[in-house]
Chains A and B, each alone.
Chain A
Amino acid sequence: MDDEENPTASWAAMPDSSAFYRKLSVYQLQWPIHDLSDYVIAGARYGGPLALMRDATKMLAMPRMGSSSRQSIQIFSSSGEAINTISWDQGRIIRFGWTFDERLVVLNEEGIYRLYDLRGDYAQHSLGPEAGEMGVIDARIYENGLVAMTGAMPGTSIGLLEVKGWIGGKPISLASPGLTEPPHAWSIVPPDVFISRHVEVLLASEATIIAVDALEAADQHLARGPFLHVAPSPNGKRLALLTATNVLWVVSSDFQNSLVEFDVNAAAHDAGASSGALVQYVQWCGDDAVFVGLDGLTLLVGPGPSLPYFYPSATFAVSEIDGIRVFSADTCDFVQKVPKNALDVFLPGSTEPSAILHDAWMHFTKRSPRADEAVRHIRPELASAVDACVDIAGWEWNVRTQRALLNAAKYGRAFLDSYNPTDFVLMGQTLKVLNAVRFYEIGIPITYAQFVHTSPSHLLVRLTARSQHLLALRIAAYLSMKPDAVLKHWASAKIARAKKADGSSEDDATVCKTIVEKFNQLGGGEVSYADIARRAWEVGRLALAIQLLEHEPRPADQVPLLLEMKDDKRALLKAVDSGDTDLVYTVLLDLHRRLPLGDFFRMVEDGGPRLAPAANLLQVYARQQDREMLRDFYYADDRRVASAILALEEAVGMDDPAAKAASIKAAQKFFSEDKGSAFEAKMMDENLRLLAFQQELEKDVDHKVKFVGLSVSETIKLCLVNGLSKKAERVKKDWAVPDKRFWYIKLQALTQLGDFEGLSQFVKSKKSPIGYEPIVHHLAETGHAKEALAYVPLVEQKKRVDLYAACGDWQAAGKECIALKDRTRLENVTRMCTDALARRELETMLRSFG
């Protein structure tokens, strides 16, 4: 590039408008590609690489008929450097495209897709059996997902499947578009730019466009079709449509506003191309111009007439957020709109402050006194002029121009009292980075806007993916960023290479040490050792993997790998030590599936107290999910009491008396086998007897009353309530129910029946073992205060006051107080009294008291 070249030399004015466009010649390509039209091409955004595959539909002279069925995809950087070649041995490739992190997605007709990184390592996923059956006929791939189109069976519609994120998730079926034939053209609006945050598919069918999302397919009722090209703008707000008559029609993406109509044929004719030329592609140049590619000619279409760019051969274009990258067989160009700040500075005759500042700097370098004069002239606008120069330095590609602009800014800054230099410093740093990666050997022609949009860390990821570790590390250090991701990649590469040598050259300990040292030295504290260990394991270096894994602080990352490596014991220990119960479950469930039951139990049990949490969790899980296993577990471990409790718990839930009895019997047996559980065994005996007795009872009353499931006390009560007092007595005797409890039960039963006569007889039958106070209380609390009064005199005198009060007989309570000669209590009673009439009487008593 000629350094003395005027920055405006690459500019061209859009006819009939004040807009200028710049065509930068970025790289001259030296690559083995001679005609782009022979290839199917996918280009990654943000100055990313190109993937090219021979177009099988094109006739070409085959030099040799070797592996004819094999398809292969070549990957080149934007500067034409070969990066990798992928050979494909699966079904026919339908489409390929790039992810945000510059992995190549290759999808075949069976719905299998692979994600290749630039080194050629891949992960394979599938769109599921449905896609395989129907066959994938086309797809659109965007940075964070893809939409695949499946073929239509007779009588059905074509289908659309969406995959989000590149993690192999289950595809989601979008609404059926109701088309039996593939559309003329189609496109998608990625979710990150579409208002609903969900993907939108635009299908050109007949004369209209059908917009499809997950929920519905909406016909937009257009009549100008059929459309041969559908292209949404990078921000998703506009749509470029090309009709069959080569009219380019730009509308807002809701189809409400028609923005531009443009006759491509006429323009091509004007530009000297043969009319009716076939449009190869329609792409956006930023968000405000459309780039139409024809054979040997490209047209940049803005709101007015078009701007033609001529190329000798076929071209290919990659739409960018701030412009468009155009490839021909031997050039890589970048076309973009010239921003206002650049117009201000560089347009000949500009009197804008920024232009004057730039001029002033030029004078200054020539030691001309006019420099000072110029700066003083723009003093009020100096700050904004400085900002503009800094800003436009970022837009410039020419290093000398960049430097001139930054120097101009620096010069202007000196005249300002206070100026925040952050932007200036950042711009300087950034430009250094950008210029480094634009160098043809690296071949990432990224613009400042794209760099800001994708973030510096993204650039680091891209550099590491190209194995440019050194550059990446330097940039990381330069921009004070974490080098973790780079280091991780470096370590993986190191392990892979160490293996590829002869094996003995670098032993595990050395490799591990090198990696750990490097990490500590460069502060890669957040690098996941587990990821690196996995890499080591994948290339077959088990010992190294384990050594590396020991450096991993996060058990959640250690454990899964240990499991995969079948280092079960260590996995279990690590999981338990982590305190993360879910991790313990992960190990337990995996072991339970893989190991014979006996081995599994032994591993958990032999761990002693250290593995006790695992044993506990195993029981919690088994109790809910696999009781059979739990029984085995307890049995294997001679845990009789636990076995008994398990049986007993099951008995509770059972309705069938026979099954219930069987379970209780089992519990009884387990208890009797345990020497400390004689009492429990006896209780289970009682329980069984009760169950049998209750069944008998039910038979006696013709199953009108349900006894099974009741306790001994409840059985007695129910017998009494149902007039089976003999039976009640029998239970009392057979189960040795103490008199006290029996009295309480009978008291409750008779009260419930309202049999106060019976109660009276019962109470008088012998001296009450529970005293008489509880009888009064029970009656009073169940609302039978009147009946309760009869029993108050049976209670010793001291307590009668409160009992009378509890029954609401205030008068009697007062009299008792007098009998007791207790004035204080009488006062208390009076205060507590809620009955106005009685209170008056009490007050009289109180007065007469003394």
Chain B
Amino acid sequence: MPSTAPSIDSSKPEIDPSQVVDVGVLKELAKRYLVDALNSVNGPKTLVLDPSLAGPLGLVTEVALLKQHGVDKMFWLEPGPLQATTTNIIYLCRPQVQWAKLIAEHVKQHTKESQNHVYTLLVVPRESSVVKRILEDEGVLGDIHISEYNLQFIPLEDDLISLEYDHAFKEIWLDGDETAVYNSAQALLTLQKIYGLFPRIIGKGDHAAKLKNLLKRLQSQSPRQAPGSHTLSEKIDSLFIIDRRVDMVTPLLTQLTYQGLVDELMGMTSGHVELPASLLAAPTAQQTPSASAAASTSAAGRTALTKEKKKKHHLTAANDTLFRDLRDLNFSVVGANLSRHAHRLDSEYQSRHQAKTVPQLKEFVGKLGGLQTETQSLKLHTGLCEIVDPQTKTEVFNKSLEIQQNLLALYDVNAQISAIEDLVAQGVDVAVVLRLLCLASIVAPGIKPKVFENLSREILQTYGYHYLPLLLNLSTLHLLTTQPLSPAAQSLKLPLSALKKSLRLLTEENETDNDISYVYSGYAPLSVRLVQCVAQKGALLAAPAPVGEEAGAVPKAKAPKTRSHPIVGWKGFEDVVASFPGEVFDVVQAPDGGATDSSANAVSVLLPREDTTTTVVFFLGGCTYTEVAALRWMASQMRGRRFLIATTGIIKGSSLIEDLATSL
């Protein structure tokens, strides 16, 4: 690497903090609701936790806070008896049948053993008639006080908030259970309560449109007393909603940014990644134990939460400036970046030799703490790279990347399918194979039936016949399609060749330096391109000048940042966005809670402002870290606009596919 390019300017000093949408409020809200819920029960209490909530809760509270509010012990909600020493038992869970049944079992067991407990059930995010019904059928409804813990958006980073629903995609599109849509509307309503009405709501996708309609309806029903809830937001200029179904290509591809790869290869849950303890051993790595890591094990032999030698680490830019610099880089340049940081640190350490006078020495000592933290974080990321790097060098990894890129380029699709078949023969991870196969189905006009049948058979024989429901589910969703396309599949078909041109989905190697496509080394995520259609039209209308000589994969913000343009809807891209499946909408919200169709005229609210404004981008059905990276990069290219990325959850291709496997 001849010259290392400056990394994305992440500190954004030119933004006035008072104009930034502060998502800390959301965390405080989540914390306060929890504390209120705990305090409603008098005296010491035992907390029994739905394991899927451990991650989200860990992001909003610490164990110390729970202890402070009377939580004596914590257990996972899991099969087997529960031995509680306190009279009060509080259950905290999502409204799922399995949890209700476990709770009923506990209560019945305790009654049989004539243990006297007072039960409180906090359902997240709201009370559920199903849970009530099951408790009633089990005959324990009268013994349990049911209430709710309204946990909505949780900040993962200062520009990323998530509902942390792991299965939203599957529930909405496979099961047809639109609870996540409703809950998303409620959560967005809360955002409106805090920050004011979104002046404009723009989006794409049938379910995105549903969500928009629901949001408007709920807003019109919400009581008017709440001050501010019916005035337009001053900090937010619009809400962009995109549903995952609109862009299935992006999550199927292997993410190539640092954080994206860590998620792909090591798996991140609620911002946490499991690392070898040795990487975290240094004194600075002491984490405040998150709630997720602290539920204790009981005598009944409950599963130990912390696995030996592995530790959960919260990867966040909030306490790790190095990570802020690295997370969104293409992995290929992370190594170079790390070494640059190492050199800088080293020279800063060296500066102690120049410290001749006492004041100079004092200054150095003052910096020492920061340097040690940085050293620790450098060690952490070097270690992490050492784990990730070999996995990106394997034959299978590179083969699958090659197939992906060939498929996107529509280069000899048949050959790609036989390459996929070859991967099946090698018995590589089933998720890898299915991701590629789905991608092939989407880009090509379906797979030939004979070929498909043969491939299916290969897959079932290799991985087991119990994968048949998954294959059928993927077909139901038209993620796997055969020729000729059924009318339903035809209506969902993405005209990829046309879109590649009109939205420049594929870029030449030398262009990636100056475009969001750097995140996939040459492919620009369709979802983020759509955001660009609305929020950064310039990037799409004029192809950026190639940056010839320097071939680093870091996009450089060399050109002076352009001033962001006001949001004027899809203007200029109406035909393009209408050309593929998914409802297109664009409404201007009036302060009285009503909304008018923007196509008429609503320029008055869209006058360019000199201050920084925030555009909220909501992904219904989840988004990948790579899409987050691309949006951040977009923001770094503009003056005057930030993005607040909101999502039902962070997803990746493999978990998306695996989620569809079980209908249970």
Contacts and interface: CB of A to CB of B under 8 A. Distances in A.
Interface of A: 169-170, 172, 196-198, 213-215, 525-526, 553-554, 579-582, 585-586, 589, 612-613, 615-617, 619-621, 623-625, 641, 645, 648-649, 651-652, 664, 679-680, 683-684, 686-687, 690, 709-714, 735, 737-738, 740-741, 743-745, 748, 770, 774, 777, 781
A613 B464 CA distance: 32
Nearest to B463: A711
Given A619-B175, A710-B464, A781 B394 contact: yes
Nearest to B453: A679
Contacts of B182: 579-582
B457 interface: yes
Given A196-B42, A625-B97, A649 B663 contact: yes
Contact of B175 (A172, A198, A620, A748): A620
Contacts of A616: 175-177
Given A589-B129, A623-B664, A748-B427, A617 B177 contact: yes
Given A198-B42, A623-B663, A684 B465 contact: yes
Interface in B206-234: 210, 213-214, 217, 220-221, 223-224
B426 interface: yes
B129 A585 contact: yes
B472 A645 contact: yes
A302 to B, nearest CB: 36
A532 to B, nearest CB: 17
Contacts of B395: 774, 777, 781
A741 B214 contact: no
A582 B126 CA distance: 9
Contact of A744 (B87, B176, B220, B427): B427
A353 B178 CA distance: 69
Nearest to B471: A680
A259 B621 CA distance: 66
Nearest 9 A/B pairs, CB to CB: A616-B176, A712-B461, A711-B464, A624-B97, A741-B425, A687-B465, A581-B179, A586-B129, A713-B462
Contacts of A735: 461
Nearest to B134: A625
Given A213-B42, A624-B664, A713-B463, 4 more contacts: A624-B97, A683-B457, A683-B460, A711-B461
Q: How large is the interface on B (under 10, 10 to 19, 20 to 34, 35 or more residues)?
A: 35 or more
A683 B42 contact: no
Mostly, the B contact residues are helix
Contact of B43 (A214, A585, A741): A214
A86 B127 CA distance: 37
B650 interface: no
Nearest to A577: B217
Contact of A579 (B181, B220, B224, B463): B181
22 contacts: A170-B142, A214-B43, A215-B43, A554-B221, A579-B181, A581-B182, A612-B176, A620-B175, A621-B97, A624-B664, A645-B468, A645-B469, A645-B663, A648-B466, A680-B468, A683-B457, A713-B461, A737-B461, A745-B427, A748-B427, A774-B426, A781-B394
Nearest to A625: B97
B456 interface: yes
Given A526-B224, A553-B220, A624 B96 contact: yes
Contacts of A621: 97, 130
Contacts of A687: 460, 465
A620 B97 CA distance: 10
A612 B176 CA distance: 8
A579 B178 contact: yes
Contacts of B468: 645, 648, 680, 683-684
A582 B128 contact: yes
B424 interface: yes
B98 interface: yes
B429 interface: no
Interface string B147-185: 000000000000000000000000100011111011001
A214 B86 CA distance: 13
Of listed A641, A684, A740, A741, residue having the most chain B CB within 10 A: A741
Nearest to A709: B464
Interface in B380-428: 394-395, 422, 424-427
A684 B179 CA distance: 34
B638 interface: no
A741 B458 contact: yes
B662 interface: yes
Contacts of B142: 170
A824 to B, nearest CB: 16
A737 B457 CA distance: 10
A169 B133 CA distance: 18
Nearest to B179: A581
A645 B214 CA distance: 33
Nearest to B128: A582
Given A579-B185, A680-B472, A649 B128 contact: no
A684 B471 CA distance: 14
B310 interface: no
Contacts of A679: 453, 456
A579 B210 contact: yes
A519 B39 CA distance: 40
Contacts of B43: 214-215
Contacts of B220: 553
B472 A641 contact: yes
B186 to A, nearest CB: 9
Contacts of B265: none
A613 B129 contact: no
A593 to B, nearest CB: 9
Contacts of B464: 709-711, 714
Nearest to A593: B133
B317 interface: no
A390 to B, nearest CB: 28
B32 interface: no
Nearest to A553: B221
Contacts of B424: 741
B465 A172 contact: no
A585 B422 contact: no
A581 B42 CA distance: 33
B129 A582 contact: yes
B145 interface: yes
Nearest to B456: A679
A703 B513 CA distance: 60
Contacts of B422: 740, 770
A488 to B, nearest CB: 14
A666 to B, nearest CB: 14
B118 interface: yes
A581 B131 CA distance: 13
A680 B453 CA distance: 10
A738 B463 CA distance: 15
Nearest to A216: B43
Contacts of A579: 178, 181-182, 185, 210, 213-214, 217
Interface in B124-142: 126-130, 133-134, 142
A333 B226 CA distance: 41
A215 B394 CA distance: 62
Interface string B175-199: 1111101100100000000000000
A645 B128 CA distance: 28
A630 B394 CA distance: 45
Nearest to A652: B466
Contact of A589 (B127, B133, B145): B133
Given A581-B182, A624-B97, A713-B462, A649 B214 contact: no
A472 to B, nearest CB: 19
B139 to A, nearest CB: 15
A166 to B, nearest CB: 16
Interface string B50-67: 000000000000000000
Of listed B96, B171, B395, residue having the most chain A CB within 10 A: B395
A737 B221 CA distance: 62
A683 B130 CA distance: 37
A213 B87 CA distance: 14
A371 B104 CA distance: 80
